[in-house]
Every structure is written in structure tokens, then in C-alpha cells.
């Protein structure tokens, strides 16, 4: 078994990419909840409404930061638990914290190997390596997210070499 994770690790900055997405979601959710609180209060300016609004607003801010901290911890643990390796005949990807997933793709079943890079990935210098096979789960489960550009190209080259060896 060749542990590719040790030589080509997931970049720690992937945590930032995931957290930015969470922050955007939480901001929209918070604004929506604050609007609902204000709308239900009726927009009149009584002292009791201001106190209630302040309590609910404070609660939303506290929940926002708790969820943000939990997400940072989760993403960091996810990276620590993400492993991928090869035995020369297949690639195995193990991931997950709460629910663990393991997918093994034989090299002779890989039909496509491609690199994906979203806008945040471009800014942060990250790449995702995706594997396709005839199975339905390969598209969503078989990928390595958060590699640096050079590491992604190296892993892709290694896998392509194995695929070419198996097809000769």
C-alpha cells in the first residue's frame, strides 16, 4: 500500500474555503431571522419590543459564532481523517468524521479523471481531483478536495500511469 496522503496532503487552507461558505450561509440565515423577528414585532418602537429584539438578536449572534466555531473544528477534523492510498490496482479514499465513507476504485474501472477548481479554489490555490467510473456513487464520493496545484498534478500523473499500465 502506498499512502498518497502523506506525500500529497490536503492543504489546511481548505478549512478556510469551507468556513467562508458557512459564513456566507450563516449571514443570510441571520439576516433572514432578524427580519422575521422585526416583522413579527410589527416595526413599532416600544421599549418592550426593543428589549425583545435585543435578546433575540444577541441570541442569533451567539448561535452564529457557535456554529462557526463548530464548523471550523469539524473541517479541521475532516482533513485529519481524510486518507487516500493505492495498492497499484486501485485507489481507496477514506473520509468522514460522524459517518465514515470508504470508496475503492479499481484503476481499470476509472473512465475519467479531471481537476475542478471553483472561484474560491482559484483564490486560495486549491484543486479538487475527481474520479469517474460506471457506478453512480463515484461522481459524488470519489474525489480528493483541497490539493495544491503541484500535488494535484502529481497525484493525477501517478494514477494515469497506473491506469495506463493496467490497460496495456
Do 29 and 95 have their domain in common?
no
> Residue 85: what pLDDT?
94
> Residue 41: what pLDDT?
56
Do 28 and 47 have their domain in common?
yes
How far is residue 139 from each of residues 21, 61, 105, 112, measured CA to CA in Å? Answer: 21, 37, 12, 10
Give the whole-angstrom CA distance, residue 61 versus residue 25: 14
List the 2-3 sheet strands across, edge first. 2-3, 83-86, 90-95, 101-106
Asked whether 33 and 115 are in contact (CB, 8 A), the reply is no
> Residue 137: what pLDDT?
64
Helix (H) or strand (E) holding 49: helix 47-81
Give the whole-angstrom CA distance, residue 27 versus residue 45: 25
Do 67 and 90 have their domain in common?
no
Asked whether 56 and 96 are in contact (CB, 8 A), the reply is no
Domain that holds residue 27: 14-78
Q: What is the DSSP letter of 142?
A: S
Domain count, the chain: 2
Q: Which of 40, 60, 78 is the last residue of a domain?
A: 78
Asked whether 86 and 1 are in contact (CB, 8 A), the reply is yes
Do 124 and 161 have their domain in common?
yes
CATH of the domain at 137: 2.30.29
pTM above 0.75, yes or no: yes
List the chain pLDDT tens, one digit each, 168 residues.
889 999 999 999 999 999 998 899 989 988 887 777 666 655 555 555 677 777 877 888 898 899 999 999 999 999 999 999 999 899 999 999 999 989 999 988 888 899 999 999 999 999 999 998 887 666 667 899 999 999 999 999 999 998 888 666
Instruction: Give 107: exposed, middle or buried? Use CB within 10 Å, 0-12, 13-18, 19+.
Output: buried
Amino acid at each position: 500500500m502506498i499512502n498518497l496522503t502523506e506525500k500529497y496532503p490536503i492543504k489546511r487552507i481548505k478549512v478556510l474555503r469551507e468556513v467562508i461558505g458557512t459564513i456566507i450561509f450563516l449571514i443570510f440565515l441571520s439576516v433572514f431571522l432578524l427580519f422575521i423577528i422585526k416583522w413579527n414585532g410589527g416595526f413599532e418602537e416600544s421599549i418592550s419590543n426593543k428589549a425583545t429584539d435585543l435578546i433575540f438578536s444577541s441570541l442569533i449572534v451567539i448561535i452564529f459564532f457557535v456554529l462557526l466555531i463548530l464548523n471550523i473544528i469539524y473541517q479541521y477534523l475532516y482533513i485529519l481523517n481524510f486518507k487516500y492510498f493505492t495498492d497499484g490496482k486501485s485507489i481507496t479514499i477514506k473520509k468522514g468524521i460522524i459517518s465514515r465513507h470508504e470508496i475503492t476504485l479499481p484503476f481499470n474501472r476509472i473512465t475519467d479523471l479531471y481537476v475542478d477548481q471553483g472561484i474560491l479554489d482559484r483564490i486560495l490555490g486549491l484543486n479538487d481531483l475527481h474520479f469517474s467510473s460506471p457506478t453512480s456513487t463515484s461522481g459524488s464520493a470519489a474525489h480528493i478536495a483541497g490539493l495544491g496545484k503541484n500535488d494535484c498534478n502529481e497525484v493525477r500523473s501517478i494514477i494515469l500511469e497506473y491506469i495506463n499500465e493496467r490497460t496495456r
